[in-house]
Structure 1
């Protein structure tokens, strides 16, 4: 038995061996507890990811419902306005809408220029 770290004079007695075994068991228990704690942290992370995914799905679903409700409300309001608005207002609205569609690019470019001028003016005031 060349693997024994004791010399013939230092052979431990039964009590020393029991104490050494108990110390080893205690250290092993601490190691197992530490590994279990790490596993719990990983489990918490996984549950947090799952909960976040569920919440995201619920938010997306509610946003879609709100969008659909808003579209329905806008259609209803538009219909009521068409029914109650005087004919000259409807004619003017029709002409403005058609002009906006025809001149979409110049209108967008003009809006970008206006926004840029406002931003530059605002930044110079500071």
Structure 2
């Protein structure tokens, strides 16, 4: 590990001048690397700052990608829903016109009778709902018996 001769060592252990020059040239480089390694270990805040910056850059990149994808999705939804909204508006207008036409052509006595029936139904919702449930149950039971045969 240590290439230096011990003090008082015999002459055979003494280094040649070329080896001595080589050791002298190599020592500052080794010392410099050792100092750099120790400095890196002694200053973890620099590593932390670098890691923090890298993490912030990655987070920014991911956020940009997310915004881009969200923008594309919003555009796709807008492009898809615009024709649907137009079609819905056209259907709604047609239904409104048909309802108005039916109301205009319906005789007044029939409108009065329908109005009274609606008023009675609003007052007696519970019996009306029970009657509807009974009718639906009867229809379903009858259909299931018809399939068994």
Work out whether the TM-score is over 0.5.
no
Larger Rg: 2
Shorter-chain TM-score tier: 0.3 to 0.5
TM-score normalised by L of structure 2: 0.39
